[in-house]
Structure 1
Amino acid sequence: MLFTGRITANAEVRTIKGDKQVTNFTVALNQRYKTKAGEKKEKTAYVNCSYWVNPGLAVYLTKGAVVEIAGWVEAQTWTQQDGTVKADLICSVDNVKLFGSTAAKADETPKAKKAEKKAVAAGGGDDDDDLPF
């Protein structure tokens, strides 16, 4: 399944069985629509995601970030102590595409980011005389 939504809280990395790591996060899917009477409505579904490939991605999966997720989705049900049945949507993530992140390092300002990009685009130094063109 392929879906796009916003991350509801910063991703957490857990270590399982010694050396395996999993990144867990939740994505909110919003649907806006109008009823026949013209009334505006909104529904939200939450999908609990588990990403097993790269735990380093967790620093980018911050609250409010827009992501596109590809993976296997299934419903998981359980019965509470009072007898009511609850359900969750669980996604085993194969691929994550990050569209926007709210993560900003405290020591990195927008001007510093621009200067860094400019230096990389210019070749990274003053020794540009050996270019082949």
Structure 2
Amino acid sequence: MLNKAILVGRITADPELRHTPSNIAVTSFTVAVNRPYSKNAERQTDFIDIVAWRSTAEFVCRYFHKGNAIAIDGRIQVSNYTDKEGNKRRRFEVLADNVSFVEGKNASAASAAPSESAQPQAGAPVAFESGNMDDFEEIDLGDDLPF
């Protein structure tokens, strides 16, 4: 069996880092993903809930903000629960195993909310699976890109 989700979209709100009672980092955010065009139809967008844990959550909260494009590699998780009115509900979300930058700093700055956090430039290491935040070094390429 295989459960794999690969998404590319834009973050709809600034991710916020939270911690469980046992001090495990977690963040939840929503990504807007465009559907392919259909003939004579408006473009439709799906809003997909994402959950990231531990160092991936810390990475997302440090480098991604509202409007930033993000690539997510993960798996779909389904949860069943009962709402306040006693109705049975089902929730679908993607657990992010790996996140990547999709665009460079200058492209994302136009769509992102102002932030003091610097974002890596194009050409810098752009993916994060697991590891330590100290493994990353920001590289300033300015506007001198090779393409």
With the shorter chain as reference, the TM-score category is: 0.5 to 0.7
Please identify which structure carries the higher strand content: 1
Segments of structure 1 that go 5 or more residues without pairing to the other structure are: 109-115, 119-133
Q: 5 Å matches for 1:33-52?
A: 33-35=37-39, 39-52=40-53
TM-score (norm. length: structure 2): 0.58
Cα distance in 1 for partners of 2:51, 2:81 equals 19
Instruction: Provide the aligned C-alpha RMSD in A.
Output: 2.9
- Asked if 2 retains the 8 angstrom alpha-carbon contact of 1:71 and 1:91, the reply is yes
Classify 1:41/1:87 alpha carbon distance in 2 versus 1 (closer, same or farther; 3 Å): farther
Q: Percent identity?
A: 26
Say yes or no: does 1:12 pair with 2:13.
Answer: no
- Asked if 2 retains the 8 angstrom alpha-carbon contact of 1:7 and 1:63, the reply is yes
- Asked if 1 retains the 8 angstrom alpha-carbon contact of 2:71 and 2:101, the reply is yes
TM-score (norm. length: structure 1): 0.64
Aligned with 2:7 (options 3, 8, 19): 3
Cα distance in 2 for partners of 1:32, 1:75 equals 25
Q: Which amino acid aligns with 1:91?
A: V
| 1:73 aligned residue | 76
Say yes or no: does 1:61 pair with 2:53.
Answer: no
Segments of structure 2 that go 5 or more residues without pairing to the other structure are: 119-138, 142-147
| 1:92 aligned residue | 95
